[in-house]
Structure formats: C-alpha cells, structure tokens
C-alpha cells in the first residue's frame, strides 16, 4: 500500500474512493498544515501507486478493510480522525469495527455508510457497471470513469489539464484497470448482494460511535447527493456544511473540509481534557 503523510500530531486518516487516489486530498492537507495534525493519505489497493491485483474477486469491502486495518495497526494509529468519501466511507469505516477504541472522530463527505433500504434504486452508473462485456470495454479500454471525473463536478474546471492527468496516470496501463470496475460492482444493486453484511457492520459501528462527527456535502454530486438525509440520520444529525460542489468535493471545497477536521479535532481535544480533569 502506497501512503503519503504530512505533519505531526493527532492522526487524520483520509480515505478516497473510486477511481481516485490519495492525491485527491492534497488541498485539504495543505489547508491543515501547522495545525498539530498528522495527515495520512493512503492509496487503496488497486488504485494510485499501491499494488493492483488482477483478480476482480480481490475487491470486496472485507478485503479492503483488512488491508487498511493492517495500515492502522502498523502505524499504531490512535484517536484517529477519519475522513471518508465515496467508497472510502465503507472501506475506511469497516476496519474500526474490530478496532473501535482507535477511532476518535469522523468527517464524512459524500458517501454511504450502510446497506441501502428496501426498494432502493441503484444509480445508472452502478447499474451500467453490472452489464457484462460492455462495462468491461468502457471501464478498461476507454477508460471510464477516470477519464471523465470532471463530469461529476459542480465546477468542471477543477479537474482539467494536469490535475486530470494526475488522476489518470496510475491507471494508464490496461492491465492495471481492474479496480475501478470491480469496486463499482461492490455497490449493492440487489437483495443478497455480497457487500450487504459488511455495510450493515459499518452502520452499526457508526450508530454506536459517540465521538465528534461532522459532514461536508456536495449538493451537485450526480452520484451521491441524494444520500445526504440518509447519511445524516445514520450519523445522529451531526453539523453539516452543505456546498455546491460535486462528487469530488475535495477539489472544490478543501477549506470547508479542513474546517470540519479542525472542528472535530477541537471537540475531541476538549473531550480528552474533560475526561482527564474528571479522573484527577
């Protein structure tokens, strides 16, 4: 697993989704410089500069959870502020099912953290990913979605030129383009989908987690904007910063995300101080 980090202090684990890599959080990390925080930006397995398994079956919520959990353990991260977006939501949250004592706070961006309710209709993107042959051609040959990330933005100019090339570069070889399609197929599209048990475990952890939480949401996200109400309710109605950003809101509103991280960090520090005073 390829990992970037900057700063010293309380760990902030920033987990990306499909089909990006840790580069997605560079602006947020810059905004958090000098704040007493250790910002950690891994590339999920199959993405960025991490190893890229060739088997579609490698990409499950539980496998990604195991790989990310190994990172958490090896770095011995404690009182983690978890920042998640897209598939980074479930993948970033699930390792803490087995390590709840290591989770300090959460900043949730456009994502879902539970299994969909009965009657839920998958997005056109996820329905398309299930189509045999044609989805393989579009995802692995064209290749989408990494060649069209700007279409999911509120401000499409935020992913152009060198920025767009930076997102495409790690997946420039055909043989390495398994993860975007395999991860899209991890999305629940029917009853009994194999991702459901792990997503239910994520939801239970989030419901029971009493640490500080915050949300930053892109209302112009064509994929997940509609999940705001559902995710907010699951998190217990935390403070929400609603923006006009799209799906990859880290490119559009990094300062708002950084402000949410600082808010959670401040609340976490106050809670630790209060607990220490009570013990004294």
Q: Does residue 131 carry a pLDDT above 90?
A: yes
pLDDT at 279: 66
Residue bearing tokens 């975007």: 180
Those residues whose C-beta lies under 8 Å from the C-beta of residue 88, and which sit 6 or more positions away, are 14, 15, 16, 17, 44, 111
The torsion angle over the Cα atoms of residues 159, 90, 106 and 223, rounded to 10 degrees, is 40
pLDDT band at 26 (very low <50, low <70, confident <90, very high): very high
d(CA 268, CA 102): 13
Q: Does residue 273 carry a pLDDT above 70?
A: no
Percent with pLDDT over 90 in the chain: 91
Those residues whose C-beta lies under 8 Å from the C-beta of residue 204, and which sit 6 or more positions away, are 97
Helices (H), 42-120: 61-74, 88-93
Domain ranges of the chain: 3-279
- 170-181: average pLDDT: 96
Q: How many CB atoms lie within 10 A of CB 63?
A: 17
pLDDT at 104: 98
Residue bearing tokens 């079956």: 57
CATH for 3-279 is: 3.40.50.1820
What's this model's pTM, rounded to 2 decimal places? 0.96
Ranges 12-21, 93-102, 128-137: which has the least confidence: 128-137
- 6-12: average pLDDT: 98
Answer whether the bond into residue 71 is a cis peptide, omega within 30°: no
């Amino acid at each position: 697993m390829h990992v970037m980090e900057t700063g010293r202090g309380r760990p902030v684990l920033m987990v990306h989704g499909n089909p990006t890599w840790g580069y997605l959080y560079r602006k947020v990390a810059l905004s958090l410089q000098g704040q007493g925080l250790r910002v950690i930006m891994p590339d999920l397995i199959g993405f960025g500069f991490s190893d890229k398994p060739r088997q579609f079956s490698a990409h499950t919520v539980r496998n990604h959870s195991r790989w990310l959990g190994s990172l958490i353990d090896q770095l011995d991260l404690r009182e983690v502020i978890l920042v998640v977006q897209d598939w980074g939501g479930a993948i970033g949250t699930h390792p803490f099912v087995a390590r709840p004592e290591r989770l300090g706070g959460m900043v949730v961006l456009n994502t879902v953290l539970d299994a969909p309710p009965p009657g839920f209709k998958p997005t056109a993107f996820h329905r398309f990913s299930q189509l045999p042959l044609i989805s393989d051609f579009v995802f692995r040959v064209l290749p989408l979605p990494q060649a069209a990330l700007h279409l999911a933005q509120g401000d499409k100019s935020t992913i152009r030129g060198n920025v767009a090339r930076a997102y495409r570069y790690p997946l420039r070889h055909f043989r390495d383009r398994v993860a975007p399609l395999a991860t899209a197929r991890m999305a629940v599209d029917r009853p009994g989908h194999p991702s459901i048990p792990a997503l239910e475990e994520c939801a239970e952890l989030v419901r029971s987690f009493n640490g500080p939480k915050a949300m930053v949401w892109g209302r112009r996200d064509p994929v997940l904007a509609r999940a705001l109400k559902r995710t907010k309710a699951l998190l217990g109605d935390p403070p929400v910063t609603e923006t006009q950003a799209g799906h990859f809101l880290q490119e559009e509103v990094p300062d708002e995300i950084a402000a949410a991280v600082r808010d959670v960090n401040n609340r976490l520090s106050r809670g630790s101080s209060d607990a220490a005073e009570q013990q004294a």
